[in-house]
Amino acid sequence: MGLLLKNGRLLNLETGELEAREILIEGDHIAEIAELVEESGHEVHDLNGGVILPGYIDMHVHLRQPGFEAKETIETGTKAAARGGYTTVACMPNTRPVIDTPERIRYVYDVTEKEGSCTVLPYGAITVGELGEELTDIIALREAGAVGITDDGVGVQSSAMMRRAMEVAACQDIPVVIHSEDEDLAKDGCMNEGVVSKRLGLPGIPGLAESVMIARDIMLAEETGAHLHVCHISDAGSVELVRWAKQRGLKVTTEVTPHHLLLTESIIDETDGGDANMKVNPPLRTEADRQACLQGLLDGTIDMIATDHAPHTEEEKKRSFATAPFGFTGIEFAFPLLYTELVEKGTIGLAELVKKFATNPAQVFRLPGGKVEQGGIADLTVVDLETEQAIDPNAFFSKGKNTPFVGKRVKGWSTLTINRGRVTYKTE
């Protein structure tokens, strides 16, 4: 018996048209896409005119397990992901202990197998304990199934260490995913360095702390031939560097978060630095930086959207701006938020946005999915583009309630998500 989706409209990613189609799913793959599929013997889901999209793929998520289960678990984080329309997430290794051995990579796969609501691809750390002192066994991490290597949460300070990591990664054909931050330049900072940080008397993190490291790593990627993927780009100079690297023909890709596309440091200014739910790393920057990120997304410099879903407890986020941890949750509402703010307002087309959420991450990281096609993996989500609903942390499956978008009314929520042929989320 298959799963038959009726009354849906499939987005054609080439033309941007919505086409009335029925989809038959058998096992974990799409068996048939047609105007009419023979009904007999299948479990039928009426989509009520919903729009069928490839399941989203988020290459930057913090699931916090093992070690920080008060913030999130693989179970809660992947349930949140499924509600957000995601079918694949790549999780960051800055857990406790750090995911820096093949056993710990396998642990993430094992827990996901039992408790997960989407495909989870763990990253392995570049350095042992993310301490920047000793290289991990990148070959063993790769063999255990690491999707990339990264010390996300901190930057790799030593250029020699990064060069060695890239040399091994290039041979192993595994992406090097960088949290670009020069610790000396960023030292003690808690928000973007500029007029607002000066007015509030808060220590700043300059855009340069990001861009100088990206410049370094582009040069190292050119030298070693590694695939360099730049995490959560936020600064205008950084976007310019990645554009230059791409023009040079280098294997350099990047992601941007919804918050860096939509918000600036002005929200911290308006609240006089009183709310740590606005604290994130890299920090919200200036309007010029935000515009550069948008431009980069539109011209293809920025390949994909990643949420950098970074849940923390409410107690932690109640601390002062200077002392609270960095990070926003976002996986549960990223698509509706950007659909409402960018597609409805005419900045980007629906098909283009979907490519940034699904097709491009699949292509860049060579993953299944990213498209809805006959014979392909049955990873998809159905969205309702009409019904407006507020972003409400009380309704989150995620343990993390820390988002500056609370109360915002948005459209484009998922009503049904299917991962490898299994229903992982469905509205009542």
Ligand X SMILES: NC(=O)N[C@@H](CC(=O)O)C(=O)O
**By Cβ distance, which residue is nearest to ligand X?**
326
Q: What, of Zn ion, ligand X, none, does residue 326 touch, CB below 5 to 8 Å by kind?
A: ligand X
Other Cβ atoms less than 10 A from the Cβ of 252: the count is 24
- Number of residues in contact with ligand X under rule CB under 6 A: 12
Residue linked to tokens 């006089």: 272
Give yes or no for residue 152 binding Zn ion (CB under 5 A). Answer: yes
**308 among known catalytic residues:** yes
Q: How far is CA 235 from CA 189, 256, 313, in A?
A: 16, 10, 28
CB 179 to ligand X: min, Å: 5
Residues 99-158 that bind ligand X (CB under 6 A): 152-153
324 token code pair: 């609270």
* Of positions 6, 21, 179, 246, contacts ligand X by CB under 6 A: 179
Distance CA 417, CA 78 (A): 12
Residues 268-287 that bind ligand X (CB under 6 A): 280-281
- Closer to ligand X by CB, 71 or 216: give it: 71
Give yes or no for residue 218 binding ligand X (CB under 6 A). Answer: no
Confirm or deny that 63 is annotated as ligand binding: yes
Distance CA 282, CA 125 (A): 19
Bridge partners of 328, per DSSP, are 309
CB 45 to Zn ion: min, Å: 37
* 3-class DSSP assignment, residue 290: helix
Concatenate the DSSP letters of all residues of 89-155 into one string.
EEE-S-SSS-S-SHHHHHHHHHHHHHH-SSEEEEPBPSBGGG-SSSB--HHHHHHHT-S-B--TTS-
Give yes or no for residue 72 binding Zn ion (CB under 5 A). Answer: no
Bridge partners of 362, per DSSP, are none
Give yes or no for residue 63 binding ligand X (CB under 6 A). Answer: no
Confirm or deny that 259 is annotated as ligand binding: no
CB 312 to Zn ion: min, Å: 14
Q: How far is CA 47 from CA 4, 23, 52, 416, 426, in A?
A: 10, 11, 9, 8, 11
CB 308 to Zn ion: min, Å: 6
Confirm or deny that 260 is annotated as ligand binding: no
Give yes or no for residue 62 binding ligand X (CB under 6 A). Answer: yes
The phi, psi pair for 142, rounded to 5°, reads: -60, -45
Give yes or no for residue 179 binding Zn ion (CB under 5 A). Answer: yes
Residues 416/88, Cβ–Cβ less than 8 Å: no
- Closer to ligand X by CB, 191 or 372: give it: 191
Residue linked to tokens 């993430």: 108
Residues 21/51, Cβ–Cβ less than 8 Å: no
Give yes or no for residue 308 binding ligand X (CB under 6 A). Answer: yes
Give yes or no for residue 235 binding Zn ion (CB under 5 A). Answer: no
Distance CA 311, CA 325 (A): 10
Confirm or deny that 232 is annotated as ligand binding: yes
Confirm or deny that 110 is annotated as ligand binding: no
DSSP run (H or E) holding 222? helix 208-224
Confirm or deny that 326 is annotated as ligand binding: yes
Give yes or no for residue 8 binding ligand X (CB under 6 A). Answer: no
Q: At what angle do helices 102-115 and 74-83 cross, to 10 degrees?
A: 60
Candidate list 151, 182, 303, 308, residue with the active-site label:
308
* Of positions 30, 33, 310, 367, contacts ligand X by CB under 6 A: 310
CB 310 to ligand X: min, Å: 4
Confirm or deny that 405 is annotated as ligand binding: no
Region binding ligand X by CB under 6 A among candidate stretches 12-20, 101-109, 292-300, 320-328: 320-328
Q: Which residues are annotated as a binding site for substrate?
A: 62-64, 94, 281, 312, 326-327
Q: Annotated active-site positions, please?
A: 308
Binding site for ligand X (CB under 6 A): 62, 94, 152-153, 179, 280-281, 308, 310, 325-327
Binding site for Zn ion (CB under 5 A): 152, 179, 231
Q: Which residues are annotated as a binding site for Zn(2+)?
A: 60, 62, 152, 179, 232, 308
